[in-house]
Amino acid sequence: MSDDITAIYRAILAKEKGAIRKDWGGKMPVALAFPNQYRLGMSNLGIQIVYRLLNERPDVVAERFFLPEGREMALYLRGEGPLVSLESQTPLTNFDLAAFSISFENDYPNVLQMLEMGKIPLLSEERGGNDPFVMVGGVASFLNPEPLAPFVDFFLLGEAEQNLYPFVDAFQEFGRNRVKRRDVLLHLARNVPGLYAPSLYDVAYKKNGTLKYFVPSEKDVPEKVKALHSPKGGFTDTGMPLTCVTTPDTGFGSKVLMEVSRGCGHACRFCAAGYVYRPPRVYEESKLKEGVNAALKQCPQIGLVSPAVSDVPGIEGLMGMIHHNGGRFSVSSLRAESLTPGLLKHLKESGQKTITIAPEAGSQRLRNIINKHLTEEQILGAARMIAGVSNFSIRLYFLMGLPTEMPHDVNEITELVKKIKHQMVKASAARGKIGRIKLSVNCFIPKPFTPFQWFPMAEVGPLKKKQQQLKKTLVKSGGIIVNSDVPKWAYIQALLSLGDRRVGTILQSAHKLNGNWKKAMQLSQINPDFFVHRPKSLEELLPWDFIDHGITKKHLKTEYHLALEGKLSDICRVGECVRCGACAGKI
């Protein structure tokens, strides 16, 4: 290992507060890997939670790995040394377990790169007794793990607070050098709820390319793998889910992130998080206050994290408490219909410059199809309220290529944005100045476990033209910034979101070709359009159907039909209904 890499890692550690250094003696060593750059990984509350949970156990030592970048990557590529941990600069192969936490499908290629840099065989079937077991968790994996199946020994599906400790207990019953790897996998699959080992399942395909069957190859391996969900969300005996290691080298600076709720009950039909984190959970006010006090001891700046911070009961009081104790805060996202002047004044006092809301679609027709529960008047009312309080910039999220989208639906984005600008001008007339309007326009990608999982992604060419036309039209209005994703990369994300384990061969080919996806797809024996652009039958066996999130397929089909009819359905009524199945037996 290069002395220069050691120096880089020690410099990183010197800036951190809260990093955990433990003696390895008698402990199970876990490599906690985030398949992207350090500044992104340390901005991710999920990996912070897992790092804390693992190191709270006296029988485990967990150290972090990130995808090298810049000079660090150049040093690795120039030398022969393996990828090493941040804390002790120990090679990845010295750990019993390489545990990857993945939030986004676009990070799948980085998993292969980190395995290769760590001197671990890419394919699980090629690993021997001296190789670490490769595990993957995180929301991307419990939506659809199949594209990564050839490379991963097992996945841990569900929320870490519920499934991590039972897994560690079972894993510690075996030393990796004492028994055959398959025996370890069988023991784990049979005894750890939520654990999925791809090599223990047989898969076959019909002549038309769809799945014929997906069944266990061994006795007592579950046909359905239940993704576990914590009834309390991220709250544990040691407190609220908070950033445990702070560093200035993140997108948030040294800010402490704090989860204020988990899941979302608005039931938008495109949103995977709104389905796989059901039922939505809100923390008690006393627990939220405990979390704020704990966060302020680490840093005077707090980032409040939730799918919709403005929906959290008592949120204004919590914001006031932060201010009263000398702190400042920012928020992740807000719902237009639940904004209040008091909430906005707190945000102004905390120095937040931009307010983010998500109309998602320009037309009421499309907003009804996606079950957004948001009217144009509510959107314009939010814009008036925001501009009336301060010169906030407003960031608006829109999706393009939604099911049944027509040209006039895209035109209505333009009209809606112009109306928002008009309301902002009127509301801020006394000040004579308004904030900017920033659009973030993203391609719709169908996601597993949503009512839209059966729809195809729109074609890349038309999406690109719609983006260009929207940008050209709005930029002329002045004071409006339009940013959009790249349709060809959205296509890759859709492939990794919707594909089965055959997509693993395309992923491996792209890795060998240094990220040349176009060539990798051309060389593929199966047309990637089969996964991305093909409408799916409601009766088709889907690659992720073996996972049980507690949501019935019957409910998803009902919502699919309601979408086609342009009808809204009710939001989640936790404890009052059993429509989707997530609360069945819990009320």
Question: Rounded CA gap, 301 and 384, in Å?
Answer: 28
**Same structural domain, 386 and 268:** yes
The pLDDT tens digits of the residues spanning 354-398 come to 999 999 999 999 999 999 999 999 999 999 999 999 999 999 999
Confidence of residue 176 (pLDDT cuts 50, 70, 90): low
**Same structural domain, 14 and 158:** yes
Average pLDDT of the segment spanning 483-507 = 98
What confidence score (pLDDT) does residue 178 get? 65
> Phi and psi dihedrals of 447, rounded to 5?
-120, 145
Q: 297: how many CB neighbours lie within 10 A of its CB? A: 9
Q: What tokens appear for 16 in the block?
A: 């951190």
Q: What does DSSP assign to residue 80?
A: -
What average pLDDT does the structure give for the chain? Answer: 94
Q: Who's near 569: CB < 8 A, 6+ residues apart?
A: 267, 371, 558, 559, 562
Residue 581 lies in a domain: no
**Same structural domain, 203 and 267:** no
**Same structural domain, 268 and 351:** yes
Last residue of a domain, one of 226, 242, 270: 226
Question: Rounded CA gap, 211 and 555, in Å?
Answer: 22
Say if CB 120 and CB 132 are below 8 A apart: yes
What confidence score (pLDDT) does residue 184 get? 94
**Same structural domain, 167 and 61:** yes
Report how many domains make up the chain. 2
Q: What tokens appear for 315 in the block?
A: 């949120």
User: Above 80 in pLDDT, residue 199?
Assistant: yes
Residue 320 lies in a domain: yes
What confidence score (pLDDT) does residue 429 get? 86
Q: What is the CATH number of the domain that holds 313?
A: 3.80.30.20
- Cα end-to-end distance, the chain, whole Å: 56
Residue 370 lies in a domain: yes
Q: 253: how many CB neighbours lie within 10 A of its CB? A: 13
**Same structural domain, 86 and 176:** yes
Q: Who's near 427: CB < 8 A, 6+ residues apart?
A: 383, 384, 385, 386, 387, 388
What confidence score (pLDDT) does residue 504 get? 98
The pLDDT tens digits of the residues spanning 286-316 come to 999 999 999 999 999 999 999 989 999 999 9
Provide the 3-class DSSP secondary structure of residue 416: helix
**Same structural domain, 199 and 336:** no
Q: By residue range, what is the domain housing residue 20? A: 3-226
Question: Rounded CA gap, 142 and 272, in Å?
Answer: 10
Last residue of a domain, one of 175, 205, 226: 226
> Pairing between strand 256-259 and 195-196?
unpaired
Q: Give the Cα-Cα-Cα angle 316, 319, 321 (nearest 5 degrees).
A: 110
**Same structural domain, 204 and 267:** no
Whole-structure pTM value: 0.95
Peptide bond before 279: cis, by omega within 30 degrees of 0? yes
**Same structural domain, 194 and 286:** no
User: Above 90 in pLDDT, residue 239?
Assistant: no
What confidence score (pLDDT) does residue 477 get? 83
Tell me whether residue 372 is exposed, middle or buried, using C-beta atoms within 10 angstroms of its C-beta: 0 to 12, 13 to 18, 19 or more. buried
Residue 222 lies in a domain: yes
User: Above 50 in pLDDT, residue 49?
Assistant: yes
Percentage of the chain modeled with pLDDT above 70: 99
Q: What tokens appear for 179 in the block?
A: 């028994």
C-alpha distances (whole Å) from 23 to each of 3, 165, 245 are 22, 20, 19
Confidence of residue 175 (pLDDT cuts 50, 70, 90): low
Last residue of a domain, one of 226, 243, 272: 226
**Same structural domain, 33 and 167:** yes
Residue 573 lies in a domain: no
Element (H, E) at 328: strand 328-331
Confidence of residue 586 (pLDDT cuts 50, 70, 90): very low
User: Buried (b) or exposed (e) across 75-101, using 16+ Cβ within 10 A?
Assistant: bbeeeeebbbbbbeebebbbbbbbbbb
Average pLDDT of the segment spanning 524-549 = 97
**Same structural domain, 66 and 187:** yes
What confidence score (pLDDT) does residue 238 get? 77
**Same structural domain, 158 and 204:** yes
The pLDDT tens digits of the residues spanning 398-453 come to 999 999 999 999 999 999 999 999 999 999 988 878 889 999 999 999 999 999 99
